[in-house]
Amino acid sequence: MSEIWQNDIWALSAMLASSETTAQDLLTQYRSRINDLNGAVNAVVYLNPQALDEAKESDLRRAQGRALGPLDGIPMLIKDNLNATGMPTTWGSPLFADYIPESDEIPIERLRQAGVVFMGKTNVPEFTVEGVTENPIFGVTRNPWDTTKIPGGSSGGSVAAVALGLSPCSVGTDGGGSVRRPASYTNLVGMKTSIGRVPRGNGLPQLLLDMETVGPITRSVRDQAMLLDALSGPDRRDHRSMRFGAPSFCATLDEAPKNLRILAVEIIDNAPVDPEITRSFRAMTDTLASLGHDVSFGPLPVDVRPLYERWTTIADIGLALLLQRNPDMAKTASPKYVDWAHKSYHAPHLLEIIEIIDTLRNQAAMAFDSVDIIMTPSSAAMPWSTEMPFPTHINGGPSGPRGSAVFSGWVNAIGHPAISIPGQHGVSGMPIGVQFTSDFGQDAMLLSLAQQIEQSTPWQTNWPSLAHKENLV
């Protein structure tokens, strides 16, 4: 019989509804695990002193028949770049070390309205613009599957916490793969929804134009659906969200798709890919074929080179705006980011980037006329040493700072939904993820496909040995 921390939030919700457990009991158990295990990975950087009161209020609502829904009483950790009332949002930078927001960002507001108990915050890289999770305030976060390796970034603290059973779920942000790649390194499910599906507002500045979305980090696909039911839907404070209704992803989750046209792209522009990842990717194509889908291999039908040649410029421009609004950044932030912020670009350069993104979106719209899904690896590299900012070589070939992210950033640019789910593990036992991207607005179909795959090849029972307290050295 599994221990309570090994359950997904769907199962925990059922246990709360049947009075098999309480919100206070859940909070106590997860706090105990944080106390015992967090030191090994440094995932959790702040504990919410109001969490027990939130759990008590949830239990009282249930006792009075006033539960707010299936998430009422579910404990959760949130990424430390999302504003939550009364909890520090440091963004991993000394610039924001003392910042305590007085109100929730829209996604956090919605989760609070659903009765979620916020346990605390998870670690991020400074300004969430790196693929590793380390900052000058809290230090480095490690991968529970191998603590000498990175868990990815920028949602590294969130995935490390969920993978280790310190929280049943988390919510993060994805501006270039920051939910999907870390999920792939830790045997989790991470989703980037269509731009506007989850409204944004009342939060930190978005440094990557409109490409950053808020998305859940979970152990199961059904948990993604449950959280997105609470997070999604129009809000007048974010005009991009007004194009969407508020469908129930849970209601359609088990409608298994049939005969999908799936384009398998295992390499982009001859960029190197770790052979273990390629093996896992091809095993997933076999699974899809066995489920009755039409899988064909081919090149990515959009030209990502102009985007990737200018990717760092996008972050530079975002940081420059941050510096303009916060002059103290020059004295308090890490010198590297101050240097990025001081770079000078002519106005036409920004307009060129916007034009490149617009062209990509047009190409993607045409591509999905002939395919339903584009599948790729979630990352080009296996998790690397925490001593390195990025892998300098992949499969024997040289690689730069974004080499591991070749499969993820283009999806943020086109604005389509994408999900990373666990695939076949590597020979070393490390997790490997596979990414699925669908047409704009087809988030529900993407979840149904992922659910179909999970039912065929379940992964929830795979835990890192560190998750069992008796293995803690």
Residue 194: active-site member: no
Residues 6 or more apart whose CB falls under 8 angstroms from that of 443 comprise: 191, 193, 194, 197, 228, 232, 249, 417
- Give Cα separations from 106 to 73, 202, 238, 242 (angstroms): 19, 7, 9, 14
- 118's enclosing H/E stretch is strand 117-122
Residue 154: active-site member: yes
Single out the catalytic residue among 13, 58, 79, 149.
79
Single out the catalytic residue among 178, 184, 194, 408.
178
CB-CB neighbours of 149 under 10 Å = 19
Single out the catalytic residue among 13, 58, 93, 154.
154
- What is the four-CA torsion angle of 10, 452, 411, 342, rounded to 10 degrees? 30
Residues 6 or more apart whose CB falls under 8 angstroms from that of 295 comprise: 262, 264, 285, 288, 289, 375
Distance CA 438, CA 467 (A): 34
- Tally of residues, the chain: 473
CB-based burial label for 135 (10 Å; 0-12, 13-18, 19+): buried
| Preceding peptide of 154 cis, ω within 30° | yes
- 454's enclosing H/E stretch is helix 443-456
- Strands (DSSP E) found in 228-340: 261-264, 294-297
Residue 469: active-site member: no
Catalytically active residues are 79, 154, 178
